[in-house]
Chains A and B, each alone.
Chain A
Amino acid sequence: MNHSYELPVDEVSYNFAFLDEFAKREIRRSILKAISIPGYQTPYASREMPMGRGFGTGGLQLTLSLLGAGDTLKVIDQGADDSVNAVNLRQFVELTCPGTSTTERAAEANIIQSRHRIPEDRLTANQILVLQVPTPDPLAIVEPSEARRKIMHGESDYASLLTKLYEDIVQFDEIAISNRYPTRLNGHYVIDSSPIPRFDVPKMHQSAALILLGAGRERKVYAVPPFTDAVPLAFEDVAFRTEAFLDHQGTRRHCDRCDSSTSYLDEIMHPDGSHHWQCSDTGYCNDRCARRDSAGSGAVRS
């Protein structure tokens, strides 16, 4: 084999935001198309990123194509900024996007990339939320062929998906879908809401912030444009229900740290076997703790 190949100099020689400019432009075009057709799974030529497919490469490509000098990014995984994957993605952005900054406070970020959660505090019209998606098509559970699913989406044919909900109720007396809840946008396309809990799905409805959903391995991007109806599939008489976090007496659990009783909670098992509950959104929880501490008084009950 030829010995005269040149090796790349070092990481510094990588382009701003890693991807070449053509790739970023193409992704932005796909994003525009996705915004124009709420919920439509826009195919795009997803590039390989230096982290595993399934580790948020779809979301990351959207983020990288949007980031420019002066932007502030927050990266969360499971609600936490310090989760290993969030740290990894954030470090990558810091390495390849000079001139941008990162933050752990949702309010300070204009782009938020997240896996499995939407922040507790309502996002504003100045923010973009990028969600990581493993499996973008909600119809995949009832129809394996993508070609046929495309037709079903086009015709807004979701009867088979609703039949799945019907069967759930027959069998369990409940809709058994826990996360990735199928949600109808603007009265037509039904999306996979990404593996956010049901608790977060209502935050998509009429969201002031643009929500972009990127699936890198499946090469799709779709969007919930600002102020768009996002309605979880349900029946008129069997409502969509979010996670309740009730204890055995039927009282809403609250966070052990900040005492919030309105947030999504992580269940933590202590070494002594006891169960504790804590906000999944660490940025929100830290803010509340800081405010309580500076107020110098007891718990801030919300």
Chain B
Amino acid sequence: MGYVAIKGGGKAIAGAHTAVESLRTAEGDAGASLPLASIEHQLRLLTSRVLSEGGLYHPRLAALAIKQMQGDTLEASFALRAYRSTRPRLMETPVQSTTDMRLIRRISSAFKDIPGGQMLGPTMDYALRLLRLDLVDESPESFRKVSRQFIRDIADSDLPDSFPKVVNALREEGLLPPQPDRPDIPFDITREPLVFPVPRSAALATLARAETGSLLALAYSNVRGYGNVHPTIAELRVGYVPVMLPHPLTGEPTEAGEVLMTECEVVATQESDETDAPPVFSLGYGACFGHNEVKAIAMAILDRALQKGMQHGPESPSEDPEFVLLHVDGVDSMGFANHYKMPHYVTFQSEVDRLRTTQEKDAAHTPAQGVES
């Protein structure tokens, strides 16, 4: 009776890897391996998404992850996260100011004129969603021509620059509460587990790494009626934030590099505070690595909703910190959904045992109160 249920697990795994690779290369002789630079630039929004959900700013590695995971954003972000687990922490930056962001795009839907002006920048918001058939067989020549033309035509005044922030103007007018002088030391979700209740900084960090679709669904539920944030975008900005580190010798803040970020600040319904202070608007904040406007907006809405839930108790799912923060991580939620594919023979056997026992008892017409006499 040499029947063995599970054998050759190792062989099966190796075979699965081969099958995956064969599909990646299925173009055959007509194909060529995707260069990482092409992924990074031509699929820049995909790269952005993986950067932010992976919680590691490394566009080239993000491109590699996208290539390896064959375009699956969840898996690619996951690979970046796992790589991150192996890296020691060498330094921590002080709190960075996004006022110095070199902007490629910034808009405000609250004011027509804002200091520095509206700057549409790279957006598809007002492009017709008609398929561009000229891209079907785009020649390398025309591809390069577009690029060269842009660089030649761009005026120096249109190069990225920093602008004053809209919310600072609102603060000066007393429409928003003043900013605390000394920011709190932010909660580090990569070093500390969330134990509820958690501070706002823990919520923001969790949202910043969250899966875009999950954030969007929850934020959408809030503004659609399962909640009552009525957001107005005070400012949405996309640009490069200089990363300042203390100089190893002098201690002077020194620019060590820059990260592309999207930042969104929404102003929402006024706070009804019980104290004597005059009523003010409240602010929801969203920011993430890369260029991902939907994520930044959704995050800002959820930040506002969570602040309300933290202060007055949640009235809708999107205001409940546990509900939101424990369910938006792509790596966690994908892992759990996937784990159901693993063998569950033992637990299923155990469930079958319970079912058979209760069925037998039922068949024997044991009265439900059989235990007492």
Query: A-side interface residues toward B, CB under 8 Å?
Result: 1-3, 5, 7-8, 14-15, 18-23, 26, 43-50, 52-55, 57, 77-80, 82-88, 91, 115-117, 134, 144-147, 150, 169-174, 176-180, 195-199, 217, 219-220, 237-238, 243-245, 256-257, 264-268, 270, 276, 278, 280, 282
Asked if B82 is at the interface of the complex by the 8 Å CB criterion, the answer is yes
Within the complex, which residue of A53, A146, A176, A243 is in contact with B339, where a contact is CB–CB below 8 Å?
Answer: A53
Asked if B9 is at the interface of the complex by the 8 Å CB criterion, the answer is yes
State whether A87 touches B336 (Cβ < 8 A): no
Lowest 4 A-B CB distances belong to which pairs?
A: A53-B335, A54-B339, A48-B81, A43-B193
Asked if B284 is at the interface of the complex by the 8 Å CB criterion, the answer is no
What B residues does A80 contact at CB under 8 A?
5-6, 9
Dominant SS among interface residues on chain A: loop
State whether B342 touches A55 (Cβ < 8 A): yes
Within the complex, which residue of A20, A57, A268 is in contact with B5, where a contact is CB–CB below 8 Å?
Answer: A268
State whether A19 touches B85 (Cβ < 8 A): yes
Query: With contacts A48-B82, A91-B13 known, what are 14 further pairs, Cβ within 8 A?
Result: A7-B64, A19-B86, A21-B88, A45-B191, A78-B344, A82-B7, A84-B12, A134-B336, A178-B354, A196-B346, A198-B350, A219-B194, A266-B346, A278-B3
Within the complex, which residue of A8, A87, A176, A195 is in contact with B346, where a contact is CB–CB below 8 Å?
Answer: A195
State whether A276 touches B3 (Cβ < 8 A): yes
Within the complex, which residue of A7, A88, A237 is in contact with B61, where a contact is CB–CB below 8 Å?
Answer: A7
User: How many interface residues does chain B have, given as a range?
Assistant: 35 or more
Question: Contacts A20-B85, A267-B352 known; A280 to B346 CB distance under 8 Å?
Answer: yes
What B residues does A52 contact at CB under 8 A?
78, 334-335, 338-339
Instruction: Compute how far the CA of A186 lies from the CA of B344 in the bound complex, rounded to whole angstroms.
Output: 30
State whether B13 touches A54 (Cβ < 8 A): no
What A residues does B332 contact at CB under 8 A?
53, 217
CB closest residue in chain A, given B352:
A267
State whether B342 touches A85 (Cβ < 8 A): yes
What A residues does B2 contact at CB under 8 A?
257
Asked if B351 is at the interface of the complex by the 8 Å CB criterion, the answer is yes
Within the complex, which residue of B3, B60, B354 is in contact with A270, where a contact is CB–CB below 8 Å?
Answer: B3
Instruction: Compute how far the CA of A181 lies from the CA of B257 in the bound complex, rounded to whole angstroms.
Output: 53
B 247-285 binary contact with A (CB < 8 Å = 1; else 0): 000000000011010000000000000000000000000
Question: Contacts A53-B332, A219-B194 known; A83 to B84 CB distance under 8 Å?
Answer: no
